Structure 1
Amino acid sequence: MQHPLAGLTRHNLATELTAGVTLLAIAIPLNIGYAQIANLPPTAGLYALIVPTIVYALAVSSRQVVASPDAAAAALVASSLGGLATAGSAGYATLALAQAIICGVMFALLAVFKLGFLANFLSKPILVGFVGGLALDIAVSQVAKMLGVKIDSGGEFPEKLVGLVSGLGTLNPWSLALSACAVAVLVVGRRISRVVPWALVVLVLARLAVVLAGLDSRGVAVLGEVPAGPPALTWPVLDWSLWLALIPSALALTLVTTAEGLLVSRSYAEKHGYPFNANRDLLAFGLANVAAGAQGSFAVGSSTSRTAAMDQAGSRTQLPALVLAAGTLLLLLFGTALLADIPSPAIGAIVGVAIVPLLGVREFIELWRQDRFEFGVGAACFLVTLLVGSIAGILVAFVLALVNLAKRAASPAIDVLESSGDPGESLLEDAPAGSTTAPGVIVIRLAAPLFFANGAVFTAAAKHAITAAGPARVHHLVVDMEAVTDVDVTGAEAFAALKHWLVTHDVSLSFSRVRPTTLPRLSLLGVLSTEAVYPTNRAAIAKLGAERPGQASSP
């Protein structure tokens, strides 16, 4: 087990500490914004930067991934808890704690049983659609905040959109001006230098504007008093019915974080050549989420943007995360008074600019150009997530993933070679040019496992190959099993029907290149019985062509 600060040396200590200060400047304003997205107090976002961050940094195998609530997770928390409790109430906050703990348990189970592969079902189009739907829902709330328009942030997207449009008459010009300046600083500043923490610059300048110009007395909403002090140990007390009601949303959070978190961990580990352990990273997410639920925060995932910022800053260890935790604790102990006058439009601008890449506009354009079906999968997931809800979105995501998988598995590559003795003659146009077999022999190769989605397709291809060549000319069928790594009951039944059809047409059956690891399974399901198993070479096939039908030899 590698040391949590592996890679730290006296030569890069200054770089890592500087990166930690940069991370602190980035994370504090964003986490305050994410807490507001989740309809939780600012302290919920700040508490996530202390104990959960320390626990994750000490347990994870990745040297760079930053753990934190993010915009998509915060939106999922809000949409899933809104129907169970009133946003901003004590009961709502308790549900958020319980949800984080359930996420932690699920992460731990994924790690223990090595089930992280389940996240692979969330393909790129599904993730783009799901996160994009959540991002657009967030965008409406942040635009309302930037304009000074009050809407029901706990409602569904159509309700928020109607509330925003109908409330434009109550727009606050000071809020609009402040948020416009904030967006300009963030966008232009990023082009000037990506090293400068522009979000922190915006918060400082916006706070000065509120204090010096008295904007709070002119209708500009401010953050308000933030309780001082470190996070306290707590535990959510709920009825079992509410714990059960939180499971679907916790599962959605867990799977999305698993897919994104492991992808980010693996990519940076490969980029910089250090070891990566997926199960250990899942366990680290589990411990961080339990810690979040036990000390007043909400669900924690991986932050792609902050991880990228740390990589650009030259960080290659988890020391910046520890600096972040220490700096946030000092802020909560001695500096909460500085947060009270931060204007909500500025926070909305920071979060709004941060989530623009999550809308997935470029990704959708690329999907449209590359694969229309995959584009449709992403678009369907986007619309369901946006219009119906996050839980429905993740359910549709899994259904679409299975449909996509079945669609591709139902059309496997099937190579068929046959010859009546004329060199170069092949049955299928896509067969390799010049490929021939012995007279009277057809070789067929399935480039996939044999299972319910392709069993009928394979048997139909084999029958077509024989009938197209003329049953009187075909005496032997050889099935090349090199690419068949598994077989299920339905696939075996389809193969049994093919064997019966071959007998009625006086065609013998043989196998070649059967994987030793699949032999027991093939025998158990009756795919292999007394038929011959041949190595794939011209001599064996020529031997088959010289034999009379029904007299296949043993290998």
Structure 2
Amino acid sequence: MNASPHWAERTFPFLGWPRLWRQHGVRGDLVAGVTVALVLVPQALAYAQLAGLPPHLGLYAALLPALVGALFGSCGALSTGPVALTSLLSGASLLSLAQPDTAEFIALAVVLALLSGLIQLVLGLLRAGWLLNLLSRPVMAGFINASALLIGLSQLPALLGLSLPRAEHFLVGLWHLFAGTDPFHLPSALYGGLTLFALVALRRLVPRLPGVLLVVASATAVSALTGFAGQGGAVVGAVPSGLPSFGLPVIDWNMLVTLFPTAFVIALVSFMEAASSATVITARTGMPWNQNQELIGQGLAKLAAAASGAMPVSASFSRSALNHASGARTGLSSLVTAAAVLLSLQYLTPLLWHLPIAVLAAVILLVVANLVDFHALTGAWKAGRDDGLAAVVTFCSTLVFAPDIQNGILTGLMLSLALMLYRDMQPRVALLGMHPDGTYRDLKRFGLEHPHPNLVIMRFDSPLTFVTARAFEEAVMSAAQAQPEVECVLVSAGGINAIDASGQHAIAVVHERLRLNGQVLAFCGLKKQAIDALERTGLWARLSEHGQYRTEHHALDALLPRLSRPSG
């Protein structure tokens, strides 16, 4: 009787909201929804600019996607909508295909939202969320830091009232801009600089106030009163009011093929951001979250963004943290936020005409400053050379490939997988001797001796698969020559937790080679799953006599009396 509601809540998470309302009430959700809306509305306009799209599309991305993400996601406190990193990825990846702020560019952004949403939805339905773990933390750290740096640099021209020329490489275009003789627009620079100063001051002095909303509203009012647009200043301009028109652009196969790699990267990166937020929030609340269900929720949110004619969305780390800190426990808070966005679209769009673009650039700069964390790169170096290399290569390649920054994270992904494979091909192998504490340990590290002149113990700390099969063969044959008169090689196999066909072939080969040399291959500590694999192929029948010892002590008690030279 209880299984059906439980299944229903897992499939449709919003069915569990009433139970949480009875425990915590709804006041926290209502307050959090309004609080997040005060931040989201100006951020949505800024992130649309970051993606190279008309500002009102940011509001569209904050409406229906927020509703869908809240209804079908497993963590109620996540705030879904436009975010800096996904917006940058979307805009940068399309620069080589179309001119920003054009109908073609918008259509491509919508298809990108559709593709990335379908990828996440399919992964979630197939319970394949584990695939997203392919992006290691060092790779993400390198990518996020480089992206934050690029975001900041990309907003400098708008902050100063300049126009960034299109170039094959972003950094080259930026260099040409600032190396040129074009003067910056003084009123724009004043708006941008003063906005940035005011945002930082409000955050430090009165962090509880909605600083972004207050500063943006004040700057818009001053812009209208002083005639900023008439002085040549760039402003948001006309923002259509009302609901978006729902539908999808015309899609052709070549467009899908071209955008698929970028859509896959967006699906990975955006979900990593959502997963990080969900992990932090649920650790504080003690409430569980489901990775695959969240994939479904985020995928459906992207599909809702595509249907709204907007760019890809994700769960914002900063807004989700604010949502949780303000008392959100269920997706009701996101519904309240979406209602506030709807009211803004219905009644406040005429007020946005005079909003300076430089002000939005300052808002973006303040947000991305929180993404910069070079300590993560140094921490990766301290953790290991391979991690550090993956982080640094990802960081550098993201900068070099810009605006095609998806190539940067793909480079880091391939490098980290290659390094992992290389590490796995060099498993830890050690010859063992009796330690004074009564255990068998690495004889080289502890200066020990072999347990017997005719016997060698070799520990193999790795799954025995096609990746390590060759290393196993070489290690066993090397161990067989570690002493002049070795009659038995005992493999301490506690670290072998899996054996595939290549691994079994390697065992059969060394078993036969040792037999022809008059030597014995023995195992101790083999785990059940390893023995089961050997039994299925019949190899266990040849190994079982000397393969089922549980410990080194057990093996030596049975093997030493058989050796030609007695111990001691």
Q: What TM-score, normalized to structure 1?
A: 0.91
| Consecutive aligned runs of 4 or more in structure 1 exceeding 6 Å deviation | 423-427, 433-436
Q: Is the alpha carbon distance of 1:539 and 1:454 closer, same or farther for their aligned partners in structure 2, counting shifts above 3 Å?
A: closer
For residue 336 of structure 1, report the CA deviation from its aligned partner.
Answer: 0.5
Partner of 1:224: 237
Partner of 2:533: 521
For residue 26 of structure 1, report the CA deviation from its aligned partner.
Answer: 1.0
Q: Is the alpha carbon distance of 1:154 and 1:321 closer, same or farther for their aligned partners in structure 2, counting shifts above 3 Å?
A: farther
Partner of 1:170: 183
Q: Of 499, 508, 530, which residue of structure 1 is paired with 2:520? A: 508
Give distance in 2, aligned partners of 1:24 and 1:449. Answer: 51
Give distance in 2, aligned partners of 1:265 and 1:81. Answer: 29
Check the 8 A contact 2:90/2:109 in 1, yes or no: yes
Q: Of 141, 155, 158, which residue of structure 1 is paired with 2:171? A: 158
Task: Map Cα deviations across residues 426-467 of structure 1 (whole Å, 9 max, x no partner).
Answer: 762236x88975774333332221234433333333333332
Aligned pairs (5 A) from 1:74-93: 74-93=87-106
Give distance in 2, aligned partners of 1:105 and 1:425. Answer: 53
Partner of 1:483: 495
Give distance in 2, aligned partners of 1:529 and 1:314. Answer: 63
Task: Map Cα deviations across residues 73-94 of structure 1 (whole Å, 9 max, x no partner).
Answer: 1111112222222222212111
Q: Is the alpha carbon distance of 1:488 and 1:16 closer, same or farther for their aligned partners in structure 2, counting shifts above 3 Å?
A: same
Give distance in 2, aligned partners of 1:270 and 1:234. Answer: 39
Partner of 2:410: 395
Check the 8 A contact 2:51/2:91 in 1, yes or no: yes
Q: Is the alpha carbon distance of 1:92 and 1:467 closer, same or farther for their aligned partners in structure 2, counting shifts above 3 Å?
A: same
Give distance in 1, aligned partners of 2:295 and 2:88. Answer: 22
Check the 8 A contact 1:57/1:318 in 2, yes or no: yes
Give distance in 1, aligned partners of 2:238 and 2:439. Answer: 83
Partner of 1:281: 294
Partner of 1:14: 27
Task: Map Cα deviations across residues 314-360 of structure 1 (whole Å, 9 max, x no partner).
Answer: 32222221111000011111111111111111100000111123233
Query: Mean alpha-carbon deviation: is it higher for 445-454 or for 28-37?
Result: 445-454
Partner of 2:419: 404
Partner of 2:468: 454
For residue 300 of structure 1, report the CA deviation from its aligned partner.
Answer: 1.4
Check the 8 A contact 1:119/1:255 in 2, yes or no: yes
Partner of 2:6: none
Q: Is the alpha carbon distance of 1:469 and 1:298 closer, same or farther for their aligned partners in structure 2, counting shifts above 3 Å?
A: same
Query: Mean alpha-carbon deviation: is it higher for 183-192 or for 516-525?
Result: 516-525
Give distance in 2, aligned partners of 1:155 and 1:227. Answer: 33
Check the 8 A contact 1:447/1:483 in 2, yes or no: yes
For residue 247 of structure 1, report the CA deviation from its aligned partner.
Answer: 0.7
Partner of 1:206: 219
- AA partner of residue 102 (structure 2): S
For residue 203 of structure 1, report the CA deviation from its aligned partner.
Answer: 0.3
1:193 partnered with 2:206: yes
Check the 8 A contact 1:426/1:435 in 2, yes or no: no
Check the 8 A contact 2:32/2:324 in 1, yes or no: no
Query: Mean alpha-carbon deviation: is it higher for 360-369 or for 145-154?
Result: 360-369
Partner of 1:441: 455
SS at match of 2:213: helix
Check the 8 A contact 1:419/1:439 in 2, yes or no: no
Query: Mean alpha-carbon deviation: is it higher for 332-341 or for 80-89?
Result: 80-89
Q: Is the alpha carbon distance of 1:478 and 1:520 closer, same or farther for their aligned partners in structure 2, counting shifts above 3 Å?
A: same
1:417 partnered with 2:432: yes
Task: Map Cα deviations across residues 68-127 of structure 1 (whole Å, 9 max, x no partner).
Answer: 221111111112222222222212111111111111111111112222222212111111
Give distance in 2, aligned partners of 1:320 and 1:132. Answer: 30
- AA partner of residue 445 (structure 1): R
Task: Map Cα deviations across residues 457-515 of structure 1 (whole Å, 9 max, x no partner).
Answer: 33333333332233x1x322222333322234444444444334322432211223332
Give distance in 1, aligned partners of 2:445 and 2:23. Answer: 61
Partner of 1:552: none
For residue 382 of structure 1, report the CA deviation from its aligned partner.
Answer: 1.6
Identity fraction in percent: 28
For residue 425 of structure 1, report the CA deviation from its aligned partner.
Answer: 9.0
Check the 8 A contact 1:442/1:466 in 2, yes or no: yes
- AA partner of residue 58 (structure 1): L
Unaligned runs of at least 5 residues, structure 2: 1-8
Check the 8 A contact 2:238/2:352 in 1, yes or no: yes
For residue 195 of structure 1, report the CA deviation from its aligned partner.
Answer: 2.5
Check the 8 A contact 1:459/1:495 in 2, yes or no: yes
- AA partner of residue 485 (structure 1): N
Give distance in 2, aligned partners of 1:462 and 1:68. Answer: 57
- AA partner of residue 145 (structure 2): G
- AA partner of residue 369 (structure 2): V
For residue 13 of structure 1, report the CA deviation from its aligned partner.
Answer: 2.4
SS at match of 1:487: coil
Check the 8 A contact 1:116/1:258 in 2, yes or no: no
Give distance in 1, aligned partners of 2:294 and 2:477. Answer: 49
Check the 8 A contact 2:281/2:321 in 1, yes or no: no
- AA partner of residue 521 (structure 1): A
Q: Of 479, 500, 503, which residue of structure 2 is paired with 1:465? A: 479
Q: Of 28, 40, 49, which residue of structure 2 is paired with 1:36? A: 49
What value does the CA root-mean-square deviation take over the aligned residues? Answer: 2.7
Check the 8 A contact 1:141/1:160 in 2, yes or no: no
Partner of 1:367: 380
Check the 8 A contact 1:455/1:490 in 2, yes or no: yes
Query: Mean alpha-carbon deviation: is it higher for 46-55 or for 155-164?
Result: 155-164
- AA partner of residue 52 (structure 1): P
Task: Count matched residues.
Answer: 545
Q: Of 376, 392, 398, which residue of structure 1 is paired with 2:389? A: 376
Partner of 2:4: none
Partner of 1:63: 76
Q: Of 529, 534, 542, which residue of structure 2 is paired with 1:530? A: 542
SS at match of 1:534: coil
Task: Map Cα deviations across residues 139-187 of structure 1 (whole Å, 9 max, x no partner).
Answer: 2221111111111368631243124313563201111111111111222
Check the 8 A contact 2:397/2:411 in 1, yes or no: yes
Give distance in 1, aligned partners of 2:72 and 2:183. Answer: 49
Check the 8 A contact 1:141/1:153 in 2, yes or no: no
For residue 381 of structure 1, report the CA deviation from its aligned partner.
Answer: 1.1
Q: Is the alpha carbon distance of 1:530 and 1:7 closer, same or farther for their aligned partners in structure 2, counting shifts above 3 Å?
A: same
Aligned pairs (5 A) from 1:336-355: 336-355=349-368
Query: Mean alpha-carbon deviation: is it higher for 99-108 or for 263-272?
Result: 263-272
For residue 369 of structure 1, report the CA deviation from its aligned partner.
Answer: 4.3
Give distance in 1, aligned partners of 2:167 and 2:55. Answer: 17
Q: What TM-score, normalized to structure 2?
A: 0.89
Q: Is the alpha carbon distance of 1:454 and 1:32 closer, same or farther for their aligned partners in structure 2, counting shifts above 3 Å?
A: same
SS at match of 2:481: helix
For residue 395 of structure 1, report the CA deviation from its aligned partner.
Answer: 2.3
Give distance in 2, aligned partners of 1:116 and 1:280. Answer: 9
Partner of 1:138: 151
- AA partner of residue 487 (structure 2): H
Unaligned runs of at least 5 residues, structure 1: 550-555
Give distance in 1, aligned partners of 2:59 and 2:529. Answer: 52
